[in-house]
A and B are shown apart, each in its own frame.
Chain A
Amino acid sequence: MNDNMKVTITEGPEVIITISGRLDTNSSADFEKTIEPILSGTALKVKMNCTDLKYVSSSGLRLFLLLQKKLSHRNGTLRLCGLSADVREVFDVTGFSALFLIE
């Protein structure tokens, strides 16, 4: 696991993914591996707690989009919570803000 990124998954009626640190070229493979059960599973309600997510690069954005596409495909919902101003700006610039439910 990359030192600069941590992800924990809490199962429940709504699955909560808590991510902290840097989601970048180096850590995104670990992140993808950790959320694989959610990507290929049956969960319909997923919340991503991004309060401590400091940084996201394009390699991280592709996983946000992948998760959103997978959930949308099975009529599920994904909520993103606690985006920092820096991360929010990356979402705005890339048009991602329109593709996600951001709280």
Chain B
Amino acid sequence: MQKALSIKNDIKELNRMNLFLEEVGKDFHLESSFLVKLNLVLEEAVSNIIFYAYKPGEVDRPIDIILSYTDLLAVKLVDKGKPFDPTKRANPDITLSLEERPIGGLGIFLIKQIMDEVTYKRENGQNILIMKKRIKV
């Protein structure tokens, strides 16, 4: 099973992505608790593309979201922004005290915590991020 959505690099488009995910949840028969996590993964990954892969002022640029579900759930994100590898981001130290704890830097970490596998490649001028999760049927 596969479902795809193409959005523009605008955070308002996240609302459309969320509606699409609700459909995916029904079609793929995903548990609601997993759907919340999948929503989080996609929001973090897509907002990073909007904020960091595309430059401020660059409008109407595409982000393709492809979800497939065979023996595992796979999410593929494709954009035409500048090279941006989120997997290179260092994990935050989550044992720091309140005073030492920096604000931010949790998005990619959340993705890595939720998904089993996160891989990045640059191909034909595109960023391709693939995230996989083994889930019970």
- Contact among A4, A54, A94 with B110 in the assembled complex (CB-CB below 8 Å): A94
Q: Is B90 an interface residue (CB 8 A)?
A: no
Given contacts A25-B14, A57-B43, A66-B103, are A93 and B98 in contact (CB under 8 A)?
no
Q: At the interface, yes or no: B69 with Cβ under 8 Å from chain A?
A: no
User: A68 contacts which chain B residues (CB < 8 A)?
Assistant: 98
Among B1-9, B33-41, B55-63, B116-124, which stretch is in contact with chain A? Answer: B33-41
Smallest CB gap from A29: residue in B: B11
Report Cα–Cα, A54/B37, bound state, in Å.
Answer: 12
CB distance from A39 to the nearest CB of B (A): 12
Which residues does chain A contribute within 8 Å of B113, judged by CB atoms?
93-94
Using an 8 Å CB-CB cutoff, how does the interface string of A1-41 with B read, 1 for contact, 0 for none? 00010000000000000000000111000000000000000
- In the complex, A79 has a CB within 8 A of chain B: no
Q: How large is the interface on B (under 10, 10 to 19, 20 to 34, 35 or more residues)?
A: 20 to 34
- What 0/1 readout, one digit per residue, does chain B (77-88) give for beta carbons within 8 Å of chain A? 000000000000
Most buried by A among B15, B44, B95, B106: B106
Q: Chain B: interface secondary structure?
A: helix
Q: Which residues of A contact B33 (CB under 8 A)?
A: 85-86
Q: Are A58 and B98 in contact (CB under 8 A)?
A: no
In the complex, the answer to whether A25 meets B98 with C-beta atoms within 8 Å is no
A85: chain B residues at CB < 8 Å are: 33
22 pairs of residues in contact across A and B, judged by CB atoms under 8 Å: A26-B11, A26-B15, A55-B36, A55-B39, A57-B44, A57-B107, A57-B110, A58-B106, A59-B47, A62-B104, A62-B106, A65-B103, A66-B103, A68-B98, A69-B98, A69-B99, A72-B99, A86-B36, A86-B37, A93-B113, A94-B106, A94-B110
Binding site for B on A (CB under 8 A): 4, 24-26, 54-55, 57-59, 61-62, 65-66, 68-69, 72, 85-86, 89-90, 93-95, 99
Closest 5 CB pairs of A and B: A95-B94, A58-B107, A58-B106, A25-B47, A86-B36
